[in-house]
Amino acid sequence: MAKPRKFRVDFRKNRSARCRSGNLTRAVASDPLHAADHAGSERISGKGDLTRKRTLIAPEPIDPGLPTEPVGTLVGLWRGQVLLVHGLQSFVRDTNGQIVRCTTSRLLRTVFTEQRHPVAAGDWVSVRGDQQSSPAVGTIQAVEPRRNALCRASRGRRHVIVANVDQVLIVGSAAMPDLKAGLIDRFIVAAEASGIRPIICINKVDLVDPATLVPLAGVYARMGYSVVLCSTVTAMGIQRLQSELTGRLTAIVGQSGVGKSSILNAIDPALGLPVAEVSHDNEKGRHTTTTARLIPHSRGGSFVDTPGIRQFQLWEIIAAEVPAAFRDLRPLANCCRFPDCSHTHEAGCAVKDAVADGLLDTRRWESCCHLAAQADNRSEDLNE
């Protein structure tokens, strides 16, 4: 058994207090008549930030995302997969198929301060608890290394939407709400950066003329992505989706109201997921799905139904990495005159030349430049 090790971690934001209550000199100067009532001195520790940390003890290694010890070597631990995370509670399925309600250990919540939550749907975890009790309860002690993870930035922290998936089905709607090609590009970049296979699905094609979607679908299809035009009303494309999702663990992502749950119900009617109509006032979804859930289906695989996302900000992707995630820009970027070309204003840019010659879709080039500019601005904010 590994020897326990002490290490220092930051306090959570709700545990650390300000080191000073204010400027003493300024307080006295603003109210000289009551100077005697103010404190004449203030004791400040010379250690600074070191005093706002806590000491934890755990077996090595204690790297985020890694288990403290291999599963099975710690006494009383059993292995399971997270199906649902709701607040501080998680539902974990063990190897026998039993679902156990679990809490997350304070150690994990302390170490994973840079994440919105240390556990996500799809994670394989080590749990300590009694599986034979009624009801069965446990505590998540460690998270196994993730094969991949679809992430976004949420208020300066990492939000892991789903982990350990084979592919991601990016769902958009032809109408109600309108199709957001820029959001699809963001999902594709995040999936490419994590090594996840993206599949593009455009739903509600019964509301428009399908011919109007051919140019956009053709752009993605020429890059090698699987593109499916479907409708849960006419059953168009449902059989194609069934073949794409059979035997795989698939995350279903997209903005609210595009019909993600309706598509899953059409693929496997036994699921019976709740659905709701889009608001006729603003044509936005009503957030029927409130948290990511891993759901096995009858075709030999599993879905991860995720809540609707209206904003998707990339996590830890710098501006120079964005063009590499665009399959249509990647070969052209290698032919630019300058190796650090931003593809916006430089002379001898092969990407801009391809756009001018009609060899590259203008919208895709603009989307790449927009994402690169946002990534550059975020990196500047972090350095300030």
H-state helical runs in the chain: 24-30, 106-111, 181-194, 214-222, 238-245, 260-267, 330-333, 350-356, 362-383
What span, in angstroms and rounded, lies between the C-alpha atoms of 98 and 191? 31
Q: What is the pLDDT of residue 64?
A: 41
Max Cα–Cα distance, the chain, nearest Å: 82
Q: What is the pLDDT of residue 41?
A: 60
pLDDT for residue 55 is more than 90? no
Structure confidence at residue 66 as a pLDDT band (50, 70, 90): very low
pLDDT for residue 352 is more than 90? yes
Strands (E), the chain: 4-10, 53-59, 77-86, 89-94, 99-104, 124-130, 137-143, 149-154, 157-163, 167-173, 197-203, 226-229, 249-254, 293-296, 302-305
pLDDT tens by residue, 252-282: 999 888 888 899 999 988 888 877 666 554 4
pLDDT for residue 70 is more than 50? no
Contacts of 260 (CB under 8 A, 6+ apart): 171, 252, 253, 254, 289, 305, 306, 308
pLDDT for residue 9 is more than 60? yes
Backbone angles phi, psi at 367, to 5 degrees: -65, -40
- Please give the domain boundaries of the chain with CATH numbers for all domains: 4-59 (no CATH), 77-149 (2.40.50.140), 159-305 (3.40.50.300), 319-383 (1.10.40.50)
Q: How far is CA 265 from CA 189, 242, 276, 289, 303, in A?
A: 28, 11, 13, 13, 11
pLDDT tens by residue, 86-136: 888 899 998 888 899 999 988 788 777 778 888 999 999 999 887 677 677
Q: What is the pLDDT of residue 105?
A: 87
What span, in angstroms and rounded, lies between the C-alpha atoms of 235 and 232? 5
Structure confidence at residue 314 as a pLDDT band (50, 70, 90): confident
pLDDT for residue 148 is more than 70? yes
Q: What is the pLDDT of residue 315?
A: 82
Which tokens in the block code for residue 373?
Answer: 């500019």
Average pLDDT, the chain: 81
CA dihedral 226, 229, 230, 235 (to 10 degrees): -100
Q: What is the pLDDT of residue 216?
A: 92
Question: Taking residues 16-26, what's their average pLDDT?
Answer: 58
Q: How far is CA 373 from CA 86, 314, 329, in A?
A: 34, 12, 16
Q: What is the pLDDT of residue 157?
A: 84
pTM: 0.78
Q: Residue written as tokens 């985020």? A: 64
Kindly report the number of other CB atoms within 10 A of residue 46's CB atom.
6
Phi-psi region of 237 (alpha: psi -120 to 50; beta: other; left: phi over 0): left
Do 271 and 263 meet the contact criterion of CB atoms below 8 Å apart?
no
Do 225 and 216 meet the contact criterion of CB atoms below 8 Å apart?
no
Among 3-7, 295-299, 336-340, which stretch is predicted with the lowest mean pLDDT? 3-7
Q: Residue written as tokens 């020897």? A: 3
Going by C-alpha positions, the residue among 325, 380, 328 that lies closest to residue 354 is 328
What span, in angstroms and rounded, lies between the C-alpha atoms of 255 and 167? 18
